[in-house]
Amino acid sequence: MFDYLQIDNRHERWLVGAADLALAPWAAINSWWQPAADDETPPKRVLLFRLERIGDLVMTFGAIGTVRTRLPEAELHLVVGDWNAPLAHCMGAINAVETLDVPWLSRERPGSTLRATAAQSAAWRRRGYDLAINFEPDIRSNALLAASGARRRIGYASGGGGGFLTDALDYDRTIHSAANAQRLVDRALPAERYPPAAAASNRMAFFIPSAARETAERLLAAHDGRGPLIGINPGAGRLVKEWPPERFAAVAAALAAGDRATIVLLGGEGDRRQAEIVRRALPPDVPLMDLVGQAPLVELAAVLARLSLLITGDTGPAHLAATVETPVVTIFGPTDPNRYRPMTAHAVVVHADLWCRPCGRLRRPPKRCTHGAPDCLTEVVPEAVVVAARRLMVPR
């Protein structure tokens, strides 16, 4: 029962399915009340939800760019977690950015209170949005979309809460996350009805402020210009996605010795443990710039733009590197590169060939994978990553 829900945990699936049954009358009303296609005027005010992590936001850049090209005069308002706000402010397609820290995505941060969320929802209703799109397949964020009072509400039914939407699609697990986001936009704004201007491009403008570029220049000033600058990003937000730090060190040592590379160690404050293991494992003669904790999100984009190559796990900086057109080697474990690989031609994915991957079980990994890096990551050898890096390396 409830097989339409793409929720792996059986108890959660039944809970969400029961909620969907309770929403059935609302879903029937939504399906009955639909504006006629020939009567619908172009939306003037649009609300976009992308409440998840860094990579999730970056993978919607193309879809959000499409909204802008199809609605060049509309006001586009984007709601993100506060961790993504600096990045969202660099998006040229967006008129206004709001933050909402939903508890199920806040991790170590306190989530927005119920009172604050209610006040924010009331403000959305006062603005009178014509269209709202939720890029996350989740019943809770679909409920928030309904609370916005938007005339049309587009999102996914496969995480539950389809009854909150006027247009509910299934999330297609066989295609890339970016392609799924584009499907929502195409449903909301069909290309035949909203043709872009002849010179328009769906590629969204992404602006790195000059202050961030100056910070990156200062952080990398010690590089003498000889040999490539190679970023090593050992953290991935979840242990089950992290390649062993000692192997990142082995790759860095090989590229420093064989390619005269200078290694740039990257990560946030939460990645210090992994970064310190990499530092200790490196030979003392490896040229190293340790930028861990020194490059917040926008400054990180500026640093990535100056690198010859980034080597990382499946995490936000991989997608950010693709955005600034820096080649990237991404090491995948339990997640599916067909759905989450960086969207650039200058990328190589490295993964093990195991029967059990990609399982996608990040929140509840198999028991044998809960005490360190899982088999699908430990089976990836440094030599394979070095080969991939040399395929992509370009001078900067």
- pLDDT at position 366, please? 77
**Cα-to-chain-centroid distance, residue 378:** 24
In this structure, what CATH number is given to the domain that contains residue 66? 3.40.50.2000
- pLDDT tens per residue, range 240-287: 889 999 999 999 999 999 999 999 999 999 899 999 999 999 999 999
Q: Are residues 274 and 313 in the same domain?
A: yes
Please name the residues in contact with 107: beta carbons below 8 A apart, sequence gap of 6 or more: none
User: What kind and span of H or E run contains 120?
Assistant: helix 114-127
Q: Residue range 160-184: average pLDDT?
A: 94
Q: Are residues 113 and 262 in the same domain?
A: no
Q: How far apart are CA 322 and CA 151, in angstroms?
A: 35
What is the predicted pLDDT for the residue at 252? 98
Is 148 found in the same domain as 228? no
CB atoms within 10 A of CB 15: 15
Of 65, 110, 117, which is closest to residue 83 (Cα–Cα)?
Answer: 110
Amino acid at 240: V
- Prediction pTM value: 0.91
Residues 99 and 236 grouped into a single domain: no
Residues 268 and 168 in one domain: no
SS3 190: coil
Lowest mean pLDDT among 117-131, 208-222, 287-301, 381-395: 381-395
- Among 157, 188, 219, give the residue marking a domain's end: 188
CB atoms within 10 A of CB 72: 12
Tell me: do 257 and 356 sit in the same domain: yes
Q: Is residue 248 part of a domain?
A: yes
61, HSE (Cβ side, Cα atoms, 13 Å): 25
Residue 183 and residue 234 in one domain:
no
Q: Specify the 3-state DSSP secondary structure of 158.
A: coil
pLDDT at 37 over 60: no
Residue with tokens 């986001």: 181
Is the same domain home to 234 and 151? Answer: no
Q: Is residue 193 part of a domain?
A: no
71/174 same-domain check: yes
Q: 128 and 14: one domain?
A: yes
Is 162 in the same domain as 220?
Answer: no
Residue pair 338/314 in contact by the 8 Å Cβ criterion: no
Which residue range forms the structural domain that includes residue 360?
A: 210-392
Q: Please state, rounded to an integer, the average pLDDT across all residues of the chain.
A: 90
Same domain, 163 and 223: no
| Number of domains forming the structure of the chain | 2
pLDDT of residue 358: 87
In this predicted structure, what is the pLDDT of residue 370?
72
Q: Is the dihedral of CA 68, 71, 72, 73 positive or negative?
A: negative
